Structure 1
Amino acid sequence: MSNSQQIEVRVQQMRYEANGIVSVELVSPAGADLPPFSAGAHIDLHLPNGVVRSYSLSNSPMERQRYVIGVLHDRNSRGGSRYVHEQLRVGSTIKIGTPRNNFPLDETAAHTVLIAGGIGITPIYCMMNELVRQGKSVELFYCARTRDEAAFTQQLLADGRVKVHFNDEAGGMPDLRAFLASKPSNAHFYCCGPTPMLNAFEQLCEDLNLPNVHIERFAAAEPVVAMQTGSYECELAQSKKIVLVPSGKSLLDALLDAGIQVDHSCREGVCGSCETAVIDGQIDHRDGVLTKAEKASGKTMMVCVSGCSGRKLVLDL
């Protein structure tokens, strides 16, 4: 939920993992254990340039003394990945949020199929290693444009449960339909990667009637308009405040302008930083985090992109 705890960590190591990708190892400056996490979790980096960005944890949840993230130097960086690659250095101390998991792993599945595209390998790598550690039935299909742009290949290619596809070597894109159709329908399928891959994966799983499907997006599936036409009132149960959200303004901006501190990062409804409990009201969900069932329950919302389809919303803020 909003207003999660921030902790200080030190950059213990930065390592070149692939073309345009570095891993960053973070530890407690005091040598203390870090808060626990589960496979699929991510943390928010509160960077010194004022930018907050979410990155998936790639190391084992059994390692309480460190967090390891993988960061792609995004050509369209708005200041997050560029700062990590060009200015963050070993020995630096930064603030991070405690781990959150919008991409949890069902460890009871009879068989798990993991699919990663490019930098999407970061949470998938953690899942793969955790299921292997538990002796579970698992396989991984890892796709990248080139071998040079694929992180963790040295470790992964040694495992017979891992299949790789590099577009330049294969002469084209992977045949996801054929791959998915060859798997048992009761398996659990996880996919993380670029938006076109995730969109294709979701559509193919629906076409093939695969019920156990899980995705994590690093960007919105399509541009999200957070501003609504029409105004509404937002009552804050804890703060005892009423905030008017006018037409043309997002709920998040209205809250921030009213002096309400709300954790936020992506402003695209994909990272989960701004998840807020809802007490009452008709929610206009526009995020890419909550499942259909979670949206139908009306218990929480992502205030950066979602709003109200009625006249009043009551939040637990």
Structure 2
Amino acid sequence: MSETPSQSTGRCPFPHAAGEARGAAPRCPVSANAAAFDPFSDGYQQDPPEYVRWAREQEPVFYSPQLGYWVVTRYADIKAIFRDNLTFSPSIALEKITPTGPEANAVLESYGYAMNRTLVNEDEPAHMPRRRVLMEPFTPDHLKHHEPMVRRLTREYVDRFIDAGRADLVDEMLWEVPLTVALHFLGVPEEDMDLLRKYSIAHTVNTWGRPRPEEQVEVAHAVGNFWQFAGKVLDKMRQNPDGPGWMQYGIRKQKTHPEVVTDSYLHSMMMAGIVAAHETTANATANAMKLLLQHPNSWREICEDPSLIPNAVEECLRHNGSVAAWRRLATKDVQIGGIDIAAGSKLLIVTSSANHDERHFADADLFDIRRDNASDHVTFGYGSHQCMGKNLARMEMQIFLEELTRRLPHMRLAEQTFTYVPNTSFRGPEHLLVQWDPAQNPERTNAALLGAHVPVRIGEPSAHALSRPVVVERVDAVAEGIVRLRLVAPDGGALPGWAPGAHIDVECGDTGISRQYSLCSDPADVGAFEIAVLRETPSRGGSAWMHDTLRAGMRLKIRGPRNHFRLDEEGARAIFIAGGIGITPVSAMARRARELGIDYELHYSGRSRKTMALADELAQLHGERLHMHVSEEGTRNDFAALNVDEHARVYACGPARMLEALEVCSEAWPEDALRVEHFAASGGKLDPSQEQAFEVELKDSGLVLNVGADQTVLDALRRANIDVQSDCEEGLCGSCEVRVLAGEIDHRDVVLTRAERETQTRMMTCCSRAKSGRLILEL
């Protein structure tokens, strides 16, 4: 983003014809689509991303004369706006998008309504000190004790309608349970539920809606009553400041930080907190249930495999979240997406459109509960103003889905027309009618269902949540101690595409063990994944289970494919080096190099020919390009004799001793010539006695965290409520990578190449640390 020459503000930013009559339609270069844009229209209310598809594709930043706002629709632009809360002030986030008339204003004044800035809409330097002081109750460790209460409430509400055969999930569960949880979290007495629902809707309409003049007075009375209700509850809390709840926590913090946590601030947060903590969760869950029931295969899959629920929640939040848009104010002349925006301009940033941006989410309109980057959505915002309650919402949504899929897997949508409260920013169906046959309720024949539950993951879902079922089609012995498995989809359909070097994670039944295996088949074969498994001695349990247990026809759960060992398909020369079972990823890479016409050679080392998998197949495919190095036959690969020039890339996978020898030789090769796939990380477990504490500064979030000698960076980030994906947590998979802006990294992963490490711009948070006292991360 760059600053631009100043423009006039407070009116249409384009020049008008001289002498234009007051009230006449502006004659300026606003496109027809931009002129017609109306966020209160039924098209926007029903499907905001589809309504602005034209903008996302053709005019990603446009001016809306009807609204008086610039509208931003693409992912990269919106994330950049969230990242810079100084240039793009949140101060108008709660400003009434439709100004109220004098009569309604007089009503609000009669109630003493004096809503102040809150965490949502205050600028620096006030915002971050308050956020830091008030954040702790929102961290995963502190949210855990709310889980039993959420589960108990959910079950009680399901009990009320489970034998009825039909329900309005919004009216009968999805509004009241989140509201009760919100009140419990805040420490507010569970009273006047219906009244609070009315107040909450009025607050939404008052801030983000377009009430007609005759409605404004009614809304103002509800908002005024809401304000007085919040004040009375706060006064009660002050009499018992040691009670549970976030508001009592704030009252206690007021004693130590009176200049940060003020009386007016607490009153405003009481009111805003009741709305924020329940309305968005209620809407998000209603949207998620609607979406899942509209996709019966996805609903069936989470019914059969509850481990998919955490990622399904993220995909629901991405595809159809409860927050359609946010607002920002440009504090200086700036450029967004190549468009000049003047200081003082108001921005409507359509986050729901960003979540459907093909530039960031492949096949973005597809609803895919296994989408590996679903949690990149900006439904919770991003950076220093990201929603603090995001993990409370995730926890509630997971429990709702788990209870409903377990107890009512045969639920389906009833015939209905979906309606929404008209506003720019928050959306969820006002009603959600569902039906089922009570005679088919599983608990009628299996009472044990009532006591079962899946542990909730509090925070961003792990890649472990993305498992998919496969069937073992064949098990073939291909060498001494090695079996080759052919895995297919249960329905015989296509499996996800993959590139050579990719691996999958196989869950070894009920052992709790998960192991990574490289794909060794032809990537063009979309009907199957093939892996080769060596029985290790001694085995950690995975390979022995695979050899002793698996037979054709059995089902497995896998995750992936994922790839951190990619072939450079633009390269001129490739040297492939494999040792033992390391031939699996290398074989697929060599096959691809052959197809592309890349100049290559393949070196395969093993103890004896009978222990070397795929040898005959490799000989047939690669002929003289294959060089076998067999210890029993006295042949050995001489790494120093390899011709590695500036045009060559060396790809290696095999035992640690072989890779270490290659690392030594590579010192004399051109920079970044060697690419390695490891079987295991070499960093070992964290030894606090050998480590030093350090700090990480989170540039986008405005936080500084201490990373103790007994902590990883990933641990510290999770405890601070910062989202980072993870999987292996051994420095093997690359899932937890973050960008580093400054500081010296102590790299301990086996993912990055030597050249990538030397740039000091990327690190794996699960294992790598700081050599200096502080790292600055782009988070």
CA contact (8 A) 1:116 1:143 kept: yes
Q: Which has the higher contact order (CA 8 A, sep 6+)?
A: 1
**C-alpha distance in structure 1 between counterparts of 2:703 and 2:550, whole Å:** 39
SS of residue paired to 1:157: helix
The aligned counterpart of 1:88 is: 550
- 2:686 matches 1:226: yes
1:154-191: CA deviation from partner (whole Å, max 9, x where unpaired): 11223221110100112x6432222x04x655222211
- Once residues 470 and 703 of structure 2 are traced to their aligned partners in structure 1, the CA distance between those partners, rounded to angstroms, is 35
Contact 2:506 2:556 survives alignment (8 Å):
yes
8 A Cα contact 2:607 2:631, kept in partner: yes
Instruction: Please tell me whether the aligned partners of residues 117 and 142 of structure 1 are also in contact (alpha carbons under 8 angstroms).
Output: yes
The residue aligned with 1:134 is 596
Aligned with residue 79 of structure 1, among 529, 541, 547: 541
Residue 201 to residue 292, structure 1, CA distance change in 2 (3 Å): closer
Q: 2:572 aligns with which of 100, 103, 110?
A: 110
Is the Cα contact below 8 Å between 1:226 and 1:306 reproduced in 2? no
2:503 aligned with 1:42: yes
Matching residue within 540, 551, 559 for 1:97: 559
Answering whether residue 486 of structure 2 is matched by residue 25 of structure 1, we say: yes
Contact 1:269 1:287 survives alignment (8 Å):
yes
For residue 238 of structure 1, report the CA deviation from its aligned partner.
Answer: 11
* Cα displacement (A) at 1:136: 2.7
The Cα of 1:37 is off from its aligned counterpart by 0.8
Which amino acid is 1:27 matched to? V
Letter of the 1:161 partner, please give it.
R
Question: Are 1:307 and 2:769 counterparts?
Answer: yes
Give the counterpart of 1:202 among 655, 663, 677: 663
2:639 matches 1:176: yes
CA contact (8 A) 1:234 1:315 kept: no
Q: Which amino acid aligns with 1:80?
A: G
Question: Which is worse superposed, 246-255 or 88-97?
Answer: 246-255
Q: Distance in 1 between matches of 2:516 and 2:694?
A: 30
1:154 to 616, 626, 641: 616
Q: CA separation of 1:233/1:223 partners in 2, compared to 1, >3 Å: closer, same or farther?
A: closer
User: What is the TM-score of this pair, normalised by structure 1?
Assistant: 0.83
Contact 2:740–2:775 (CA under 8 A) maintained in structure 1? no
Larger mean CA deviation between 29-38 and 228-237 belongs to: 228-237
Tell me the secondary structure at the aligned position of residue 591 of structure 2: helix
Cα pair distance change 1:35/1:105, threshold 3 Å: same
The whole-number CA distance in structure 2 between the counterparts of 1:299 and 1:256 is 21
Aligned amino acid, residue 41 of structure 1: A
Q: Aligned equivalents of 1:174 and 1:91: distance in 2?
A: 40
Q: Which stretch has the larger CA shift, 86-95 or 98-107?
A: 86-95
Counterpart Cα distance in 1 of 2:557 and 2:640: 42
Q: Measured at CA, do residues 255 and 36 of structure 1 come closer, stay the same or move farther in structure 2, by a change above 3 Å?
A: same
Whichever residue aligns with residue 468 of structure 2, its letter is I
Question: How many residues align structurally?
Answer: 310
User: Distance in 2 between the 1:23 and 1:255 partners?
Assistant: 40
Question: Quick one: percent identity of the two aligned structures?
Answer: 36
Counterpart position of 1:3: 462
- Name the counterpart of 2:631: 167
Which position in structure 1 is the counterpart of 2:732?
270
**Please, which moves more after superposition, 1-10 or 53-62?**
1-10
Q: Does 1:125 align with 2:125?
A: no
Aligned residues of 1:118 and 1:144 also touching (Cα < 8 A): yes
- Letter of the structure 2 residue corresponding to residue 218 of structure 1: F
Instruction: Look up the match of 1:52.
Output: 514
Separation of aligned partners in 2, 1:19 and 1:233: 50
Q: Which amino acid aligns with 1:285?
A: H
Q: Which runs of 5+ in 1 are unaligned?
A: none
Return the alpha-carbon distance in structure 1 between the equivalents of residues 618 and 632 of structure 2: 19
Alignment-mate amino acid for residue 212 of structure 1 = A
Inter-partner Cα distance in structure 1 for 2:533 and 2:636: 23
Contact between 1:17 and 1:23, CA under 8 Å: does it hold in 2? yes
User: TM-score, length-normalised on structure 2?
Assistant: 0.36
Q: What's the secondary structure of 2:660's corresponding residue?
A: helix
Rate the CA distance shift 1:53–1:256 in 2: closer, same or farther, 3 A: farther
**Map of 1:276-295 to 2, 5 A cutoff?**
276-278=737-739, 282=743, 283-295=745-757
What is the deviation of 1:86? 1.9
Cα distance change on mapping 1:78 and 1:142 into 2, 3 Å: same
CA distance in 1, matches of 2:541, 2:699: 35
Instruction: Tell me, in whole angstroms, the C-alpha distance in 2 between the residues paired with 1:87 and 1:261.
Output: 35
Task: Please give the per-residue CA displacement for 1:284-315, whole angstroms capped at 9, x wherever unaligned.
Answer: 32111112444455554323322345457757
The Cα offsets for residues 81-119 of structure 1, whole Å up to 9 and x where unpaired, read as 222112233222222222111111011222221111111
Greater strand proportion:
1
Amino acid of the structure 1 residue aligned with 2:684: V
Structure 2 counterpart of 1:68, one-letter code: E
Per the TM alignment, residue 234 of structure 1 is displaced from its structure 2 partner at its CA by 6.7
**Are the counterparts in 1 of residues 671 and 755 from structure 2 also a CA contact under 8 Å?**
no
Change in 2 beyond 3 A, CA 1:7/1:147: same
Query: Paired residue for 2:654?
Result: 193
CA displacement at 1:9 relative to structure 2: 1.5
Give RMSD over aligned pairs: 3.2
What secondary structure does 1:164 align onto? strand
Indicate the structure (1 or 2) with the bigger Cα radius of gyration. 2
Alignment of 1:251-262 (within 5 A): 251-252=713-714
Q: Which runs of 5+ in 2 are unaligned?
A: 1-372, 374-460
Contact kept? 1:9, 1:26, Cα under 8 Å = yes
Corresponding residue of 1:70: 532
1:202-243 Cα deviation digits (max 9, x unpaired): 2213225475221111123x4434345344567899999998
2:672 and 2:755 in contact (8 A); partners too: no
Secondary structure of the residue that 2:562 maps to in structure 1?
coil
Secondary structure at the counterpart of residue 610 of structure 2? helix
Q: How far apart in 1 are the matches of 2:538 and 2:713?
A: 26
Whether contact under 8 Å (1:39, 1:105) holds in the other structure is yes
Alpha-carbon distance between aligned partners in 2 of 1:150 and 1:247, rounded to the nearest angstrom: 43
Provide closer, same or farther for how the CA distance between residues 16 and 285 of structure 1 changes in structure 2, counting only shifts above 3 A.
same
Structure-2 separation of matches of 1:52 and 1:239: 34
Instruction: Note if contact 1:275-1:300 (Cα within 8 Å) is conserved in structure 2.
Output: no
Residue 258 of structure 1 deviates from its aligned partner by 8.9
1:120 shift after superposition: 0.7
| CA shift for structure 1 position 145 | 0.8
**One-letter code aligned to 2:603:** F
Cα deviation code 1:233-285 (max 9, x no counterpart) = 678999999986432344456678899895433x542333x423347674432
CA distance, structure 1, for counterparts of residue 491 and residue 654 of structure 2: 35
Residue 61 (1) aligns with residue 523 (2): yes
Deviation (angstroms), 1:56? 0.8
| Secondary structure of 1:98's aligned partner | strand
d(CA) in 1 for partners of 2:697 and 2:557?
31
SS state at 2:590 partner: helix
